[in-house]
């Protein structure tokens, strides 16, 4: 039995399980929630098994149907992939559990949510395990399309606008990526990442396709100044969808960016410096916008803009301190996924409870839903990089990388960004403790919703203690 | 991993676990909540006594897990940390008793006591931190767990006070973080060791001065050093037990303790003196002492007057450490404990006046000694201690500070001490005079009936006990088992033989 | 000039036209069309780049283009569905900040 388990094609299962789950959920709309939840749990298990395999035996590869590349599709999982798989599994399960209760009273949304979300999950898992630039394109598109459809789920005007803009940006980004793929194939005659990393030799024939691909991915990641689509889409979607978009979807295009960067290890300092500066601008612009928002969900969405900026600070720092900078960035991505997921789920519970999400009118919400507020606070602690949390470990590594090479500017950006984050998080908490002069409607919130957000936020905090186990996985993956 | 490894963790858990359980309790489960609170507090003291005996006999208690690459999360119990744990554990017990009485029938008690326990957990962790990273972790945790207590009342004033509190403390945390990372990138280690680890690293003293400045400013926010003290008087909107906690047990003390750790176990006192950073710190501390005492003179609100008094008194600790002599060290460290006991007594009494009679202002206190003799007696003992009159503990602290300053030839410190004593007398003695000798008013602002008694016994016992402790330790200062005795044991390790 | 280069240059031209329309046209159907034009440009580029070598026509890019077309069709379907929903819900097939220009568009016609 155990031999059979170890021999099963877990890497493929991590993609096929959500895919078939999506189909079944679509065909059996009456049972879609149950099917969806079951598929979620199975997918998470498959992803965790892949992680254990990689942790035990190193890099894994699987050929679909036994066909070798370039005709067949080869799946590859290394340390970076499995960390992303695990992140998706954790956030995915939490969102699934939450969504089952959250959507329970609108059956038509239940029917549409589950197939789309499982498609999204399949696309994410496929993207993290793709070893080929074109398969990455296909998974990127699948992910983008299901994400857009999820945004449109709520059907309100702002959500449809958000979805439409998101779709246009997403398609533009993927096309730019595709052009890069075409030029890459022209230059090197292969799209397999491993082969490409051997053949790529620098110069213009690498710079142009890589530039096109990176530009497309920046658009999809929502790095400043390409972020304008992000807050409307993330802020107007339903809470579980926002959690998925902010937590996972933007991370997928960032992962792809990292993957390309590690494959080609481009030389020169101009591009890293540009990416880092855009990241710094994103941190300041996003945080300041977050501080100015009146609505909780928009605040959280702008916070995503800011936190994504942090991930790009690693590029200029990586020249002298690659290991520290990249691990810091990846770790921040992981903890942001969990923290931001928890934050959106908490915001969703607050909206369900009070029927609104005006920050000034939170009206002692801490007394009515202490668990949700605790989740919001813990997630905020991790976002602000206060210890002990995953965000702290990530920022510590980035700071250390900056200080060791005497880059005071980047150190200052990291520190001031953390302060700004704390400011907007505690602005919310302050109003949550304070009585408002106005009366508001009160609804009951199911305990499951409160607890899932809290557990996810606790995960983001406890991630601060997991670094000694998670970081060794990245050895050999980072350049 | 033996029992000795896990003992520091147990010490943390003795307040962490009750705290977490209390969050889950419904509001009316008063009996269970009280049991958990007191049980945790008593268990903590038992564990602490065990460890103190162990440390005295040279046992090493250390718990270590890796946290970030190259750095561990270390809980380590040495004599200095146990002194601080002792202070917080004993005062936590007293404050818990007091808070149970004070908050009787008020809303959100589960939340209050939950955060209260977490706050003490953070303080104990901070005391036992074995390196600067662990210290930083608990320093920030302390900020986060005290915030809900400061805004506990949920009023607009409380929210603004909370905002100020956070603005200061988070800024301090960030400065501390910057200094810590910088130091780590210079030295490659952050472990606290007796007489410091910086001296061996061979780094440019100019850079080290910058690091020192960052670290001291970082902890100086909580220690309420001069330009960074403004949050403390504002945080007075919190309920009285919280003020007691902020001023005597946790927050301010954490800052002062941080100064001690940074000077002795990071830089090493002799090395710090050799790069010339201790004298400016001593001058800053002296300036804080005088300035805050002057401000205290003009406060009519009793709690605000006490707050400025705290700003002033806590700087005695910094001063004692920064004078850089063995005897002054004893004075500074012992004041960490002494000030805690005296200040908590004063806040308990102020809370009693407010709770029983609705008296918040010094000008309303005429004749209060006749209405509440026991409370006022405790207040008097603590106030005399603050002034530094023998035979209270305040005198012991000042005696060692003065002697220590003379020992290293810093004569100006004696004038600062004398001036501060005069100012202390100037703002405490009028309170005592009006409380004991003026005629009471016909009617108190908001009197509550406690069945003919002075006040509830849960409100009365804690200040009496802490006041008695200050008196006894002052009288028997050189007996074994007093704070002074333990501090001498510590100071012997911080100076090269 | 080989046909490969011609295809590739044509592809780049289509991409440019597509981007121009995507940015400047407010009507959403036009934006969707622009994306489709861009998509065709990218596919043309892929095929053209694949047939530039001396070893004859490479089948791999053509396989990729077929996959790409499938993806593009589903994207277009989703986009059109969204445009319909948006027009039904808000009365205008344009994004909010494009509405002013949208009016000018319809006057042109």
Q: What is the pLDDT of residue C54?
A: 59
Name which of A155, A167, A179 is nearest C42 (Cβ-Cβ). A179
Cβ neighbours of C38 in A, within 8 Å:
172, 175
**Distance in angstroms (rounded) separating the CA atoms of residues B261 and B257:** 6
Residue B107 and residue B479 in contact, taking contact as beta carbons nearer than 8 Å:
no
Task: Say if C31 is an interface residue toward chain A (CB within 8 Å).
Answer: yes
Q: What is the pLDDT of residue C102?
A: 45
Name which of A399, A430, A465 is nearest B181 (Cβ-Cβ). A399
The phi and psi torsions of B129 (rounded to 5 degrees) equal -55, 130
Residue A290 and residue A235 in contact, taking contact as beta carbons nearer than 8 Å:
no
Q: Choose the weakest-confidence range: A60-74, A156-170, B155-169.
A: A60-74
The pLDDT confidence band at residue C104, using thresholds 50, 70 and 90, is: very low
Residue B387: HSE in the Cβ half-sphere, 13 Å Cα cutoff = 19
- Rounded to the nearest angstrom, the gap between the alpha carbon of residue B392 and the centroid of all alpha carbons in its chain is 18
pLDDT tens, chain B, 497 aa long: 577 888 888 888 988 898 888 888 888 888 888 888 889 889 999 998 888 888 888 888 889 888 888 888 999 888 888 888 888 888 888 888 888 888 877 888 888 888 889 999 999 999 999 899 999 999 999 998 888 888 888 888 888 888 899 999 999 999 999 999 999 988 888 888 888 888 887 788 889 999 999 999 999 998 888 888 888 888 887 888 888 877 777 888 899 999 999 998 898 888 888 888 889 999 999 999 999 999 999 888 888 898 899 899 889 999 988 887 888 888 888 898 889 899 999 999 998 888 888 888 888 888 888 888 899 999 999 999 999 888 888 888 888 899 989 988 888 989 999 999 999 999 899 999 999 898 888 888 888 877 777 888 888 889 999 999 888 888 887 787 788 888 888 887 777 65
Q: What is the pLDDT of residue C108?
A: 40
**Distance in angstroms (rounded) separating the CA atoms of residues A412 and A402:** 9
Q: Percent of chain A having pLDDT more than 70?
A: 99
Q: What is the pLDDT of residue A70?
A: 63
Comparing alpha-carbon positions, the chain A residue that sits nearest to C62 is A182
Distances in Å between the Cα of A468 and the Cα atoms of A12, B58, B73 are 28, 31, 11
Name which of A364, A419, A467 is nearest B68 (Cβ-Cβ). A467
User: What would the pLDDT profile of A203-250 be if each residue is shown by its tens digit?
Assistant: 788 888 899 999 999 999 989 888 888 988 888 888 999 999 999 999
Are the Cβ atoms of B155 and A434 closer than 8 angstroms? yes
Interface of B with A in 178-197 (CB under 8 A): 178, 181-182, 184-185
What is the distance in angstroms between the Cα of A422 and the nearest Cα belonging to chain B?
8
Comparing alpha-carbon positions, the chain A residue that sits nearest to B176 is A415
Task: Say if B159 is an interface residue toward chain A (CB within 8 Å).
Answer: yes
Q: Which chains touch B (3 or more CB pairs under 8 A)?
A: A
Are the Cβ atoms of C61 and A71 closer than 8 angstroms? no
Residue B116 and residue B99 in contact, taking contact as beta carbons nearer than 8 Å:
yes
Task: Say if A71 is an interface residue toward chain C (CB within 8 Å).
Answer: yes
pLDDT over 80 at C103, yes or no: no
Residue C58 and residue A128 in contact, taking contact as beta carbons nearer than 8 Å:
no
Q: B388 versus A201: which is more confidently predicted? A: B388
Cβ neighbours of B152 in A, within 8 Å:
433
Q: What is the DSSP string of C35-104?
A: HHHHHHHHHHHHHHHHT-SSS---HHHHHHHHHHHHHHHHHHHHHHHHHHHHHHHHS-SS-GGGHHHHHH
Comparing alpha-carbon positions, the chain C residue that sits nearest to A187 is C49
Sort A106 into a burial class: Cβ within 10 Å, 0-12 / 13-18 / 19+: middle
Are the Cβ atoms of A411 and B136 closer than 8 angstroms? no
User: What would the pLDDT profile of C14-67 be if each residue is shown by its tens digit?
Assistant: 999 998 988 888 888 999 999 999 999 988 888 887 666 656 667 778 888 888
Pairing of strands B61-68, B71-77: antiparallel
- Rounded to the nearest angstrom, the gap between the alpha carbon of residue A223 and the centroid of all alpha carbons in its chain is 13
Cβ neighbours of A392 in B, within 8 Å:
137
Q: C61 versus A6: which is more confidently predicted? A: C61
Task: Say if A199 is an interface residue toward chain C (CB within 8 Å).
Answer: no
Comparing alpha-carbon positions, the chain A residue that sits nearest to B188 is A404
Q: B42-71 in b/e burial notation, b at 16+ Cβ within 10 A?
A: ebbbebbeebbebbeeeeebbbbeebbbeb
Mean pLDDT of A249-273: 88
How far separated are the first and last CA of chain C, in Å rounded?
40
**Distance in angstroms (rounded) separating the CA atoms of residues C22 and C38:** 9
Are the Cβ atoms of A396 and B68 closer than 8 angstroms? yes
pLDDT over 50 at C107, yes or no: no
Q: B380 versus C101: which is more confidently predicted? A: B380
Name which of A403, A415, A433 is nearest B174 (Cβ-Cβ). A415
pLDDT over 90 at A410, yes or no: yes
pLDDT over 80 at A88, yes or no: yes
Comparing alpha-carbon positions, the chain C residue that sits nearest to A186 is C49
- Identify the helix (H) or strand (E) that includes residue B448: none
- The answer to whether the bond into B391 is cis (omega within 30° of 0) is yes
Are the Cβ atoms of A155 and C89 closer than 8 angstroms? yes
Q: What is this model's ipTM?
A: 0.88
Structure tokens at A215: 């530009």
Are the Cβ atoms of A324 and B67 closer than 8 angstroms? no
Which positions ≥6 away from B225 have C-beta within 8 Å? B216, B217, B255, B284, B285, B288, B315, B318
Average pLDDT, rounded, for chain A: 89
Residue A443: HSE in the Cβ half-sphere, 13 Å Cα cutoff = 12
pTM for this predicted structure: 0.91
Task: Say if A155 is an interface residue toward chain C (CB within 8 Å).
Answer: yes
């Amino acid at each position: 039995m155990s031999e059979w388990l170890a021999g099963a094609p877990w890497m493929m299962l991590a993609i096929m399980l959500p895919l078939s789950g999506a189909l079944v959920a679509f065909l059996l709309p009456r049972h879609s929630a149950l099917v969806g939840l079951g598929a979620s749990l199975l997918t998470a298990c498959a992803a965790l098994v892949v992680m254990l395999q990689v942790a035990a035996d190193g890099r894994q590869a699987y050929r679909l149907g036994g066909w070798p590349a370039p005709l067949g599709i080869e799946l590859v999982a290394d340390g970076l992939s499995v960390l992303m798989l695990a992140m998706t599994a954790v956030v995915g399960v939490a969102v699934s559990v939450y969504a089952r209760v959250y959507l329970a009273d609108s059956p038509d949304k239940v029917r549409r949510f589950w197939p789309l979300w499982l498609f999204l999950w399949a696309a994410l898992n496929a993207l993290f395990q793709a070893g080929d630039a074109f398969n990455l394109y296909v998974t990127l598109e699948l992910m983008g399309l299901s994400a857009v459809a999820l945004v449109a789920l709520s059907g309100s005007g702002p959500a449809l606008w958000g979805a439409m803009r998101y779709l246009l940006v997403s398609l533009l980004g993927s096309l730019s990526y595709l052009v890069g793929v075409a030029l890459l194939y022209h230059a090197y005659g292969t799209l397999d990442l491993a082969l490409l990393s051997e053949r790529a030799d620098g110069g213009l024939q690498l710079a142009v396709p890589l530039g096109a691909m990176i530009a497309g991915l920046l658009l999809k990641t929502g790095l400043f100044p390409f972020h304008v689509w992000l807050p409307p889409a993330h802020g107007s979607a339903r809470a579980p969808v926002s959690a998925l978009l902010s937590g996972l979807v933007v991370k997928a295009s960032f992962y792809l960016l990292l993957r390309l960067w590690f494959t080609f290890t481009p030389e020169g300092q101009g591009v890293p410096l540009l990416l880092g500066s855009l990241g710094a601008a994103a941190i300041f612009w996003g945080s300041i916008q977050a501080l100015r928002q009146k609505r909780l969900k928009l605040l959280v969405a702008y916070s995503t803009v800011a936190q994504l900026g942090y991930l790009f600070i690693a590029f200029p720092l990586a020249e002298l301190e690659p290991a520290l900078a990249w691990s810091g960035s990846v770790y921040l991505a992981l903890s942001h996924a969990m923290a931001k997921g928890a934050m959106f789920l908490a915001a969703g519970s607050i909206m369900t409870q009070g029927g609104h999400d005006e920050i000034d009118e939170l009206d002692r919400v801490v007394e009515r839903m202490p668990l949700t507020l605790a989740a919001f606070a813990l997630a905020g602690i991790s976002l602000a990089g206060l210890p002990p949390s995953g965000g702290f470990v990530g920022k510590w590594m980035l700071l250390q990388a900056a200080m060791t090479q005497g880059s005071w500017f980047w150190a200052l950006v990291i520190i001031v960004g953390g302060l700004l984050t704390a400011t907007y998080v505690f602005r919310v908490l302050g109003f949550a403790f304070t009585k408002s002069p106005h009366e508001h409607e009160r609804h009951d919130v199911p305990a499951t919703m409160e607890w899932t957000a809290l557990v996810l936020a606790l995960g983001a905090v406890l991630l601060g203690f997991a670094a000694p186990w998670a970081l060794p996985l990245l050895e050999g993956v980072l350049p | 991993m033996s029992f000795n490894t896990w003992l520091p963790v147990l010490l943390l858990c003795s307040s962490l676990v009750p705290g977490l359980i209390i969050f889950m309790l419904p509001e009316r489960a008063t009996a269970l909540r009280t049991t958990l609170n007191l049980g945790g507090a008593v268990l903590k003291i038992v564990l602490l006594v065990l460890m103190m005996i162990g440390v005295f006999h040279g046992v090493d208690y250390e718990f270590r897990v890796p946290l970030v690459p190259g750095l561990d999360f270390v809980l380590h119990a040495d004599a200095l940390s146990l002194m601080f744990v002792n202070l917080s554990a004993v005062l936590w017990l007293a404050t818990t008793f007091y808070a149970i009485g004070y908050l009787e029938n008020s809303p959100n008690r589960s939340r209050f006591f939950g955060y209260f326990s977490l706050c003490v957990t953070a303080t104990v962790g901070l005391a036992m931190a074995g390196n600067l990273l662990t210290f930083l972790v608990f320093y920030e945790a302390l900020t986060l767990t005290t915030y809900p207590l400061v805004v506990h009342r949920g009023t607009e004033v409380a929210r603004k006070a909370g905002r100020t509190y956070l603005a200061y403390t988070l800024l301090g945390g960030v400065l501390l973080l910057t200094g810590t990372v910088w130091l780590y990138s210079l030295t490659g280690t952050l472990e606290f060791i007796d007489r410091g680890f910086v001296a061996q690293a061979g780094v440019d003293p100019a850079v080290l001065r910058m690091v020192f400045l960052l670290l001291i400013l970082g902890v100086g926010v909580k220690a309420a050093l001069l330009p960074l003290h403004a949050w403390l008087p504002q945080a007075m909107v919190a309920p009285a037990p919280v003020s007691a906690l902020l001023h005597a047990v946790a927050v301010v003390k954490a800052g002062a303790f941080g100064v001690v750790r940074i000077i002795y176990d990071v830089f090493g006192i002799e090395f710090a003196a050799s790069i010339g950073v201790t004298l400016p710190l001593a001058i800053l501390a002296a300036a804080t002492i005088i300035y805050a005492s002057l401000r205290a003179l003009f406060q009519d609100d009793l709690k605000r007057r006490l707050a400025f008094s705290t700003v002033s008194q806590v700087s005695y600790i910094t001063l004692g450490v920064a004078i850089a002599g063995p005897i002054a060290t004893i004075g500074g460290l012992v004041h960490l404990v002494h000030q805690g006991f005296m200040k908590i007594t004063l806040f308990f009494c102020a809370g009693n006046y407010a709770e029983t009679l609705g008296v918040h202002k010094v000008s309303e206190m005429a004749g209060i000694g006749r209405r509440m003799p026991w409370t006022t007696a405790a207040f008097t003992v603590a106030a005399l201690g603050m002034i530094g009159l023998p035979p209270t503990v305040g005198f012991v602290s000042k005696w060692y500070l003065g002697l220590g300053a003379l020992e290293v030839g810093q004569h100006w410190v004696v004038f600062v001490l004398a001036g501060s004593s005069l100012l202390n007398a100037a703002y405490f003695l009028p309170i005592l005079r009006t409380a004991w000798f003026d005629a009471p008013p016909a009617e108190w602002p908001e009197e509550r009936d406690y069945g003919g008694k002075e006040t509830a016994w849960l409100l009365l016992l804690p200040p009496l006990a802490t006041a008695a402790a200050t008196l006894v330790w002052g009288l028997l200062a050189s007996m074994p088992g007093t704070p002074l005795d333990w501090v001498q044991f510590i100071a012997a390790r911080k100076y090269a033989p | 000039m080989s046909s490969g280069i011609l295809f590739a240059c044509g592809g780049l031209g289509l991409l440019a036209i597509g981007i121009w329309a995507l940015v400047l046209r407010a009507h959403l159907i036009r934006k969707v069309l622009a994306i489709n034009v861009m998509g065709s440009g990218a596919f043309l580029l892929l095929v053209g780049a694949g047939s530039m070598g001396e070893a004859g026509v490479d089948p791999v890019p053509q396989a990729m283009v077929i996959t790409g077309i499938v993806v593009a069709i589903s994207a277009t379907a989703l986009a059109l569905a969204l445009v319909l929903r948006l027009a039904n819900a808000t009365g205008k097939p344009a994004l909010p900040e494009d509405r002013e220009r949208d009016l000018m568009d319809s006057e042109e016609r």
